Amino acid sequence: MASTGGNLLQRTRCLYFYDVTTPCNKRTPGSGCSAINGINRGNGILGMSELCIATHPSDFCVALAALKAKIHVSGPAGNRIISIEDFHRLPGDKPEHDNNLERGEIITAIELPESKFTKHYTYLKIRDRLSHAFALVSAAVALEMDGDRITDARIALGGVAHKPWRVLEAEASLHGQKGDEATFAQAAALLLSGARAYEHNGFKIELASRTAIRALKQATNGTPQDQSSKKII
């Protein structure tokens, strides 16, 4: 249980967060963001601000975003429930704040609402090497289908933003559609609308699009990534 809460609360970060010899607005607010004009290959392409372009590293939270998890918390003011989409923050003008917990609050439970995503789902994680812990881009996809038509869809991207990234318009574009290449490409374009590349991470935009499309294909076919061999079935 502690590991589950800890995964939710891990810092959104990049290489410069660890390097105390360089400015980092997450570590020292107001000092600057070294990644914007530095080595930013692994940094974000969506939802960034001029103060921070770090990415949230979790796989677990990307899946929770696709499942619309609810985070139960308790604190001095009592108990409350925070939706997963409202739990983590975009950097805005306060990149030092990774989430919306209030001072003194702790996570007590994670609730997964009932769904019918029991067959058409996948989680796809793309890394430079299989041994690397964090994704360059990842995608969690969950679909409900009636024959060859998509009746409900959830898509969340990881490795691209300060928090797990969902675009409701992208999901809505899939409703009632057949699971084909054109439909998936349109959804991917909506997912990545407004993406911004920095000097070293422009490849992530195309990579994220391809990852989303491939994950949608796997989910439609009911062929998730095999977790023992890591091969695409």
pLDDT digits (tens, 9 = 90+) for 53-68: 999 999 999 999 999 9
- Residue 193: its pLDDT value, please? 97
How many other β-carbons are positioned within 10 Å of the β-carbon of residue 39? 15
Domain assignment of residue 233, yes or no: no
Domain check: are 133 and 214 in the same one?
yes
CATH number at residue 197: 3.30.390.50
How many domains does the structure of the chain reveal? Answer: 2
Query: Measuring CA to CA, how many Å separate 61 from each of 64, 90, 151, 176?
Result: 5, 14, 24, 27
80 in any annotated domain: yes
Paired with 73 in beta bridges are 80, 107
Tell whether 130 and 215 lie within a shared domain: yes
Indicate the pLDDT class of residue 129, thresholds 50, 70 and 90.
confident
Instruction: Quickly state the pLDDT bin for 187 (edges 50, 70, 90).
Output: very high
User: Counting Cβ atoms within 10 Å, is residue 1 exposed (0-12), middle (13-18) or buried (19+)?
Assistant: exposed
Residue 41 sits in the same domain as residue 60: yes
Residue 232 lies in a domain: no
Query: What is the b/e burial string over 97-107, where b = at least 16 CB atoms within 10 angstroms of the residue's CB?
Result: ebbebeeebeb
Distance CA 201, CA 159 (A): 11
Q: Indicate if the pLDDT at residue 159 is higher than 60.
A: yes
Residue 100 lies in a domain: yes
Q: Within this chain, do residues 107 and 131 fall inside the same structural domain, yes or no?
A: no
Q: Which domain holds residue 164?
A: 120-221
Distance between CA atoms of residues 80 and 147, nearest Å: 39
Q: What tens digit of pLDDT does each residue of 192-232 get? A: 999 999 999 999 999 999 999 999 999 999 887 665 665 65
**CATH at 36:** 3.30.465
For 92-121, the pLDDT digits (tens) are 999 999 999 999 999 999 999 999 899 999
pLDDT band, residue 1 (cuts 50/70/90): low
Give the pLDDT mean for 141-162: 96
Same-domain check for residues 107 and 64: yes
Residue 215 counted as domain residue:
yes
In a domain, residue 226? The reply is no
Residue 140 in domain: yes
Per-residue tokens: 35: 């990644």
Please indicate, yes or no, if residue 209 is contained in any of the structural domains: yes
